[in-house]
Structure 1
Amino acid sequence: MKIDHKFSAPHDSDMPFIHPDRPVARFRPLKALHHFRELIKDKEDTAQVFHIFESLPRPGFRKDAKAFVDSAKGKALLASEPHLSELLDDHERLRKMPEGSLAHAYCDFMEKEGLSAAGLIAEYDQFSPRKYGDLLEWYGFRQRDTHDLLHILTGYGRDALGEACVLAFTYGQNPALGNIFIAYAAGLNMKKQSKIKVPIFKAIREAQKMGKACPSISEANIAELLAQPLDELRERLHIKTPQAYLDVHAQFRAGNIDPYDLMGQAA
């Protein structure tokens, strides 16, 4: 199979589970620590996140991916949602879904923040331009491409603590070491730099527990989720109001600290 920079069509019946040229992931914690230090200098430097995940491969990832892609649900999603980014960036289609749905909240968020699924992919491609066109890649890309949906579902913002909480929530669903490493390392950095005592780790643990209680988002039919009323969807997915996170924000503001500039202050 030829490998190029373009992701092969997932409906290709000849697509292997793992391409023979795919290297075995190596566990390199010191490399992960180096890239985290770079990340705290600029929390928008997404490439550092990808480096951290590469350095801290998830045990059992291939086993879980194999079980999913071989399941009836996985095969159905491979056919109906081959490329999530195309669905997520089609705001014209998403805006036709009911008012109050996850789709509308997602469009509002992405447009306000100037984000796109394609933009995240472009950043990933700069980090890792080589594609293998295998099912393991397709499974992993679903986890990457649903990240911004998790911000909407959970209510966590794009501040430093909000990003840490989203990663802790993701760890509850997908126990990749990179998720929990960044979440708690960021929490420790914020705690060291904060001039007031706030329950940062409580917020992160709360997010982790919610993620574990919630059915896997990356393994769900995303088109169906997008069409559902956001409040009802949160209740069905066991996602509660992130009270500890909101408490930290309130305490920061009471102490004249902007929670959206906290990582910048830390750096």
Structure 2
Amino acid sequence: MTQNADRQYTRMFAADGTVLLHPDRPQAKYRPLRAVRNFQILVRDKEDTAAVFRIFESLPSKDLLPRVAALALSERGAHLRQTEPCLPEILDDHAALRRTPKGSLAHAYCDFMEAEGLTAAGLVAESDRAGRPRFPDLVEWYINRSRDTHDMFHVLTGYGRDALGEQCVLLFTHGQAPSQGHLLIGYAGAANIKKMVKRTNAPVFGAVREAHRIGKGAPPLIDQPIRQLLERPLEDVRAALRIPHPVLYRECHRAWQAEGIDPYDLLSSRDAAEQPELLAA
């Protein structure tokens, strides 16, 4: 999208006066080499979340501003901004979330975040570490909401935080909100997994393609009232959002375990141990 085309969004405002695109927000630049460099960093350390954010910044989506406008300027968007102005405050209040009925999405979310040692505030800190400037516009609200719902995707889809699970979540997300950053990390990450574990019956590419299809078929989570979803039974939310259980992802885990490979530590698998050049890639 050209700078002149972007200018129209600086003249669009929400009912409360918030501009859609702040005039000082720099135009997103397409920087594929920077994206590749950060993907290489991510291959070495899948926990380097700042590298993920830099990849997304380097591969901006041409459809971002129309998507922001469609949600943020709608009645639904206005309601979400009023009732859920800061998702991390809601998501990190586990005491309140635990007061919902057992079996709720809230309980499942708390279980996941506590088991993984994660917080929504921690993801915000990682985003800040990437060095992205902030602006008081609706684009900022939309980007933050996308970021803050990431870990909820893990809970709703059933994809873990293992290497394959992360690729699946990113391609599920691409199905909801297309961007080349999701495609790069998702499919290149799957290819890297195949390199690390060559002799296996695990359907790695089948799993990520399945995740992509599921994401396309589900209504965007960013459009949903998160507070209300948290109160509902997990399986009811999955049904309402048309998110089935991840068959091929689970098949990969079963295959690897049968082959003596730890899905959460692929670098220590017998195949990776025979390929030391991959460890230094």
CA distance in 2 between counterparts of 1:95 and 1:37 reads 39
Residues 1:67 and 2:70 are matched in the alignment: yes
- Deviations, residues 151-207 of structure 1 (Å, cap 9, x unaligned): 000000000000000001000101011111100010000111113232111000100
In the other structure, the counterpart of 2:224 is: 220
Does the CA contact (< 8 Å) of 1:25 and 1:57 recur in 2?
yes
The 10-residue stretch of structure 1 (120-129 or 77-86) with the greater mean CA deviation from structure 2: 120-129
- 1:89-131 Cα distance to aligned partner (Å, 9 max, x none): 1111111111100000000110111100000001111112531
1: CA distance between counterparts of 2:87 and 2:236?
23
CA distance in 2, matches of 1:228, 1:101: 5
Name 2:180's counterpart in structure 1.
177
Alignment correspondent of 1:3: none
**Equivalent-residue separation in structure 1 for 2:188 and 2:76 (angstroms):** 35
Instruction: Name the counterpart of 2:9.
Output: none
- TM-score normalised by length of structure 1: 0.93
Structure 2: how far apart are the matches of 1:70 and 1:222? Answer: 18
For residues 119 and 70 of structure 1, the distance between their equivalents in structure 2, rounded to whole angstroms, comes to 29
RMSD: 1.5
Letter in 2 for 1:222: I
Higher relative contact order by CA 8 Å / sep ≥ 6: 1 or 2? Answer: 1
Q: Which 5+ residue runs of structure 1 have no aligned equivalent? A: 1-10
**Separation in 2 of the partners of 1:121 and 1:250?**
34
Alignment of 1:118-267 (within 5 A): 118-128=121-131, 130-197=133-200, 198-262=202-266, 265=272, 266-267=278-279
2:32 and 2:132 map into 1 onto residues whose CA distance is: 23
Please give the TM-score of this superposition, normalised by the length of structure 2.
0.88
1:56 aligns with 2:55: no
The runs of 5 or more residues in structure 2 that have no matched partner are 1-13, 273-277
The answer to whether structure 1 residue 45 and structure 2 residue 48 are counterparts is yes
**How far has the Cα of 1:263 moved from its partner?**
5.4
Q: Residue 27 of structure 1 aligns to a residue in which SS? A: coil
AA at the equivalent of 1:231: E
What is the correspondence of 1:3-152 to structure 2 with a 5 Å cutoff? 13-128=16-131, 130-152=133-155
Q: Is the 8 A contact 1:36 1:49 kept in 2?
A: yes
Equivalents in 1 of 2:191, 2:240: separation in Å?
A: 32
Aligned equivalents of 1:228, 1:62: Cα separation in 2: 31
Instruction: Using the aligned pairs only, state the percent identity.
Output: 50
Q: Please identify runs of 4+ aligned residues in structure 1 that moved more than 4 A.
A: 263-266
Q: C-alpha deviations, 1:200-226, integer Å up to 9, x for none?
A: 110001001111111110111000110
Shift of 1:67: 1.4
Taking the aligned partners of 1:165 and 1:106, their CA distance within structure 2 comes to 18
SS at match of 1:99: coil
Compare 103-112 and 232-241 and name the one that shifted more. 232-241
Comparing 138-147 and 188-197, the one that deviates more: 188-197
